[in-house]
């Protein structure tokens, strides 16, 4: 049975990244009526940042060469570590159970929101593998950061996530769908870019529907 884990990270309740991820999720669920669906709002219900006890769990896993995610629980031995594990365990269980991970996230300050980074830190351990899963990122960016644009070199959102998912999790199937130029909707100085913004969003909306049916 297919399982979709859906995460949203935007601080805005009515954001474009949330709209795109919602469209994907609704289409995916219609195409997989028997599939499982898990939703987590990382902005409304923030994941705590990792603390020292988490680092101790990580060190134990690394020192003992534990690569089986199901054995991570063996690292827990102190009260502080048990508290850290109580936060981590459900997040890790959701991630491991999913075969498709959908992340709706804006670009903040050239990178990912801290809410998403906190989740990534919690669920990531040395030498863990999530190979065979599919990651889909639906995003919104205030400017234009696509290939060939002047700001492409400072896109530390897609580059970071792509490198992370492939390099750390071993995930080859990673898809990014971005709606760009969203600041044109707000900034009068960018009003001349509104047609471009509308086109970018329309293309993104069509693409998320296509990707959700895969």
Output 173-177 pairs: Cβ under 8 A, ≥24 positions apart: 173/133, 173/134, 173/135, 174/134, 174/135, 174/136, 174/137, 175/134, 175/135, 175/136, 175/137, 175/211, 176/137, 176/139, 177/20, 177/136, 177/137, 177/138, 177/139, 177/204, 177/207, 177/208, 177/211
Q: Consult the annotation and say whether 66 binds a ligand.
A: no
Q: Consult the annotation and say whether 10 binds a ligand.
A: yes
| Rounded Cα–Cα distance for residues 38 and 18 (Å) | 15
Q: Consult the annotation and say whether 2 binds a ligand.
A: no
| Rounded Cα–Cα distance for residues 39 and 45 (Å) | 11
Q: Which residues pair with 136 in a beta bridge?
A: 102, 175
DSSP 18-66: HHHHHHHHHHHHHH-TT-EEEEEETTTSPPPPP-HHHHHHHHHHHHTT-
Q: Consult the annotation and say whether 69 binds a ligand.
A: no
Annotated binding site for FMN: 10, 15-17
Which parts are annotated binding residues? 10, 15-17
């Amino acid at each position: 049975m297919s399982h979709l884990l859906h995460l949203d990270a935007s601080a805005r309740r009515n954001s474009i990244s949330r709209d795109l991820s919602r469209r994907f999720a609704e289409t995916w669920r219609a195409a997989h009526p028997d599939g499982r669906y898990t939703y987590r709002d990382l902005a409304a219900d923030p994941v705590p940042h990792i603390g020292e006890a988490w680092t101790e769990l990580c060190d134990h896993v690394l020192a003992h060469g534990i690569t089986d995610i199901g054995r991570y629980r063996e690292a827990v031995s102190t009260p502080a570590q048990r508290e850290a594990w109580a936060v981590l365990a459900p997040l890790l269980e959701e991630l491991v159970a999913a075969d498709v991970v959908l992340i709706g996230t804006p670009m903040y300050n050239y990178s990912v929101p801290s809410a998403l980074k906190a989740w990534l830190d919690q669920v990531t351990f040395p030498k863990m593998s999530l190979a065979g899963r599919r990651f889909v990122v639906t995003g919104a960016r205030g400017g234009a950061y696509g290939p060939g644009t002047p700001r492409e070199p400072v896109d530390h959102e897609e580059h970071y996530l792509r490198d992370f998912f492939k390099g750390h999790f071993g995930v080859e199937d990673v898809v990014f769908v971005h709606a760009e130029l969203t600041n044109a909707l707000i900034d009068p100085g960018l009003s001349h870019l509104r047609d471009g913004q509308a086109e970018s969003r329309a293309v993104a909306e069509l693409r998320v529907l296509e990707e959700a049916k895969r």
